[in-house]
Amino acid sequence: MLGYTEVELEHVPVAVIVAPADRPRLQNIISKNIASSHQVVCVRKDGTMFEAEATGTPINFKGTPARVTVMRDITQWKRLDRMKSEFVSTVSHELRTPLTSIRGALGLLESGVGGALGPQAQELVRIGRGNTERLIRLISDMLDLDKIEAGRLDLHLSALMPTEVVRTAVDGIQVFADQFKVRIEERVDAHRTFEGDHDRVIQVLTNLLSNAVKFSPPGSVVTVHAFAGAVTAPEPGSRTSASDLTGRTTGRAPIRIVVENPGPGIAQNDLPLLFRRFQQLDGSDGRHHGGTGLGLAISKAIVEQHGGRIGVGSEPGIKTTFWFELPAAVAPSARPTPLNGVPAKIGE
C-alpha cells in the first residue's frame, strides 16, 4: 500500500507517510492517545498520495502507554462517497428551501391569518405542517451525519459540568415529556468537569431522553443518572459500540450518563440494529412514534468522535437502558512522544 518493504517500514517515522496538512491533527491524536477513526491523506515511498482511513486504539505495552493503528486504502470508497455526498447535498438544498416556505405558509393558515378554518380543515393543515417539519428534520439529520462521517464536524471542546449538561437537556425535553405524560428524574453523582463539545453532548443526551420518553407508558418515570466510572466488561443483555475506553484514562474515571425507561424493551436480536441509519424496529411500537431513524446513528458518531463509547441494554417487558461515556483527560505523563519530539515509528 505504501510502497515500502516490511524492513524499510519499521524505520519510517509516522510523519513521513502522512501528507503535511494532516500532520498537526495526527500529532494531536497521538499526543492525547485517544481511540480514533479518521481519514488522512497518505504519501507513498514514490511520493504519490492516496486517501486512507486510520483507526487507532490505545494499549498498554509492557507497562508503557502505546497505540495500535490499522490503515486501509479507501480511494475507491471515497470516490463513491463523494458522488453520494454531492447527491445528498443537491437534493437536500433543493428540498429545504421550498419545504421551509411550505411550513411557514401552513403555520400561518393554522394560526388563522388566512381566515377561520373549520375543524376538519384545521386538522388537515396541522397534519401537513407536522409532516413538513418531519421532512425538514430528516434533511438536517442527513446533512449532520454526512458531516460527521466525512470528518467535517468540528468539535468545540470546553470544560463541562455534568449537572449543567443534564439540567439543560432535561429542560429542553420537558414539554415533549409532558405531552406523553412522562416524568423525568435526575440524579447527578459526578461533580467534576469533563471535556466535550457542549452542544453536541446535549444533542446526544436529548436524543436518548426523547427515545426514552416516546417508549415509556403514560404516568411512568424516565431516569437520567450521571456518575464517574466505567464498566470494563459488557453488561448482560447489552450492546456496546466498537470503541473501547481501555487505556484512555489515567487515574480519573470517565463520565457515564445513563438514561433508563420502563416499557416494552428491545429483543436481544434487535440490539445490534439500533445504531444503524434509518433503523426503526418493526417489532416495537416505534412506527407509531415517528422519528427519522438517524438519531442514534448520529449520537454514536458524536460520542465516538469524542473518544467515548455508547451502548444499550434491555430487559424485554421491563426496561431499556441507554448510556454513553466520555473519557477523562489523559495526564501528560501518559502520552506517547509527539511527532515534534523523537519521531514515533510504525507500530509504536
pLDDT given at position 74? 92
Which domain does 111 fall in, by range? 76-149
Residue closest to 214 by CA, chosen among 204, 205, 222: 222
Adjacency order of strands within the sheet including 36-43? 36-43, 49-61, 64-73
- The domain that holds 210 is classified in CATH as 3.30.565.10
The verdict on 218 and 283 lying in the same domain is: yes
pLDDT given at position 152? 67
The verdict on 189 and 324 lying in the same domain is: yes
Point out the domain boundary residue: 46, 73, 100: 73
pLDDT given at position 139? 80
pLDDT given at position 281? 56
Segment 199-218, tens digit of pLDDT:
889 989 999 999 999 999 99
pLDDT given at position 149? 67
pLDDT given at position 278? 57
pLDDT given at position 334? 45
Split into its structural domains, the chain has a count of: 3
The verdict on 143 and 243 lying in the same domain is: no
| Residue 110 falls inside a structural domain | yes
Residues of the chain with pLDDT below 70 are: 149-152, 230-252, 277-293, 328-348
| Residue 336 falls inside a structural domain | no
The verdict on 69 and 88 lying in the same domain is: no
| Count of beta carbons in the 10 Å neighbourhood of residue 118 | 8
